[in-house]
Structure 1
């Protein structure tokens, strides 16, 4: 179910972020933004940024031969395999795919950035275009974690939504981040923050995405063990 949610959201994200697809002439937007998110969230998560789940996603586009070559290279690349899982999903459009890397607990910033830089080097060598995004999920002890994060990012709030379950989601635009998507009315967003308190346990989840959250607004059970 979770993989399906990620896949569908990835397709939507790819469509709205079409103009942001990067070529081999551009530096890593994703690595830059994740380094900032790590810094901003490290003190917000109960046990630090290294203990929560980081999901990195790329939407890639190229000819079939190049996509197959990239898949083989990524599967053979050992960087990050001990501290995460890498999955490749073909999209409905021809010559497109989505690559998802999910970290395990006790990851570290250097390892995560190595995975990103290694994967994007392969994309560039294969002549593919790509766009990237990330989502991080974990528990926080701060009721105002979203406000604290927005303040650290210097973010301007673009939208706010609260659903029936009590999940509050807010979208911001921060000039410190490199990624961005159109948010309507001539506005852009590049930071989405959601907080959800579990009814039974009382645990407070903090989910952060750039430029958007991918998947649902939950934290996996094993993170709470």
Structure 2
């Protein structure tokens, strides 16, 4: 039996107006969706450029205040975020990292950038009990629902790496994060030996920084500031902060150290090595 044909009746004027309204609704919805994606991408791009701008600013502050200048100091970067498990392969692919499963909940991998002068590490953590999903091999992310994961990216340049190389590597990381549709918050820190006494005070003066919080445990003097010279900021209690400096007293024949973090020092105050 041939399929039934459906007769098409001419639309009444009322039906025509409804069709036009539906079409307009579809167009407006599509426009809002497009604008929303553009706004989201704009926010990501702004956040990325803000971190790189702050890196350049802090590099300038440290140039005369740390032994060997900014280039010979120890820089480290960290991005903490989340995304969908199905897109972890996309993120790893963009970073040039081959992920290996270390346990039931963790994937890990490393890679070198800038001709081996910058090392990058990626950790992916899936919440216990979550349904495992295969990592997407494509270079394009899936925007549907899926199992959420937490991710950490660490980047450590070798001592002596210049600002141009560090900026290029950090920019590559942030582009990979955006391309994989992950949401990350970035931070960085620099560690070194003060070239002269009161280095932290002079850096705070250069930053026009306002002291917000103070911590002292007998070994470490840590002060958290807000400075209008930096573009990134986070909330600490009721305060907006974006610069933390910790001076670590010398012990056992060691030398006094200073750690500077933007917007905060993440992890331990001691050398990451």
TM-score by structure 1 length? 0.81
Match of 2:206 among 152, 156, 159: 152
Gaps of 5+ in 1: 1-21
Are residues 1:37 and 2:58 paired? yes
Gaps of 5+ in 2: 1-38, 98-110, 128-147
Whole-Å separation in 2 of the counterparts to 1:129 and 1:43:
35
Match of 2:87 among 66, 78, 89: 66
Alignment CA distance shift 1:23-1:50 (3 Å): farther
Once the two structures are superposed, residues 88-134 of structure 1 have per-residue CA deviations (whole angstroms, 9 ceiling, x without a partner) of 12246532201000111111101111011111112222222221000
Are residues 1:200 and 2:252 paired? yes
Higher relative contact order (CA 8 A, sep 6+): 1
CA shift, 1:202, in A, is 5.0
Q: Contact 1:79–1:118 (CA<8 Å) still a contact in 2?
A: no
Alignment CA distance shift 1:180-1:82 (3 Å): same
Match of 2:76 in 1: 55
Alignment CA distance shift 1:197-1:108 (3 Å): same
Match of 2:20 in 1: none
What's the C-alpha RMSD, in Å, of the aligned pairs?
A: 2.0
Paired residues in the alignment total 198
Alignment of 1:9-158 (within 5 A): 23-26=40-43, 27=46, 28=48, 29-75=50-96, 79-80=113-114, 82-91=116-125, 93=127, 94-158=148-212
Structure possessing the higher radius of gyration over alpha carbons: 2
TM-score by structure 2 length? 0.67
Once the two structures are superposed, residues 155-214 of structure 1 have per-residue CA deviations (whole angstroms, 9 ceiling, x without a partner) of 1000111113x2100000011111111122x31111000011212325110100011112
- SS of match in other structure, 1:62: strand
Whole-Å separation in 1 of the counterparts to 2:254 and 2:205:
25
